[in-house]
Amino acid sequence: MAHQRFIWLSTLLCMAQVYSMPTKCELQRRLVETCHHLLESMGGAFPFRCFKDYVLVPFPKDAFESSKQETIAMEKSIYITLEYIDSMLNNDGLPDQWTAQEELDYFQHIVFRLIEENKCVMSKTQDSLDDFLNREASLRAYFQKITAVLIEKDFQYCAWEFARIKILRALQFILNDGYRTT
């Protein structure tokens, strides 16, 4: 009996130790790749009938340019981008034409998970706060323009397709440029 208690207590202490270990605070590339794939498969190429609604909104490449000294600002830019994507897709007006509801739910779950697992990145300190603030401002402006198109087009299908393509572009930048330094 005492032996069983000792085993249970040891198991419990071991589990408590494992669960209390700090997380690595590192974005998981495979999850970002999965998000990109899911979002891409939801709609395919930009629909021809929506070209009249396409608006030129260039991606702020400067938000993802970095050197070794700017790694933390880059990580924070990625985190902020994921937050903007999450808030945009938490809108109730998602198009009915996106029939892959399960994939969309899975996409949103992964983005939420990436945000939750990487909150710690925002507490990291960096040499230049101005650098991050400039990056954040350009990302905010980018996502505000996308949201303005959604609102202007009354959250119609073509507006969501426009937003989907722009979000895909952001995820592609994270995958291409965001992992050079990490």
The reported pLDDT for the residue numbered 13 is 45
Report pLDDT digits (tens) over 46-68.
888 888 878 889 888 888 776 66
Cα–Cα distances (Å) from 68 to 75, 80, 82, in that order, read 12, 20, 22
- Chain-centroid distance of CA 69 in Å reads 23
Report pLDDT digits (tens) over 91-143.
767 776 776 678 888 999 999 999 999 999 888 876 667 778 888 999 999 99
pLDDT at residue 157 is higher than 50: yes
The reported pLDDT for the residue numbered 95 is 75
Number of H helices, E strands in the chain: 6, 0
The reported pLDDT for the residue numbered 32 is 93
Cα–Cα distances (Å) from 126 to 17, 29, 80, 105, 179, in that order, read 31, 22, 16, 34, 18
Report pLDDT digits (tens) over 3-20.
554 454 455 444 544 443
Which structural domains are found in the chain, ordered by start?
A: 26-177 (1.20.1250.10)
Global confidence as pTM: 0.79
pLDDT at residue 71 is higher than 90: no
pLDDT at residue 154 is higher than 80: yes
Return the sign of the alpha-carbon dihedral for residues 14, 20, 22, 27.
positive
| Percentage of the chain modeled with pLDDT above 70 | 76
Compute the mean pLDDT over every residue in the chain, rounded to the nearest whole number: 80
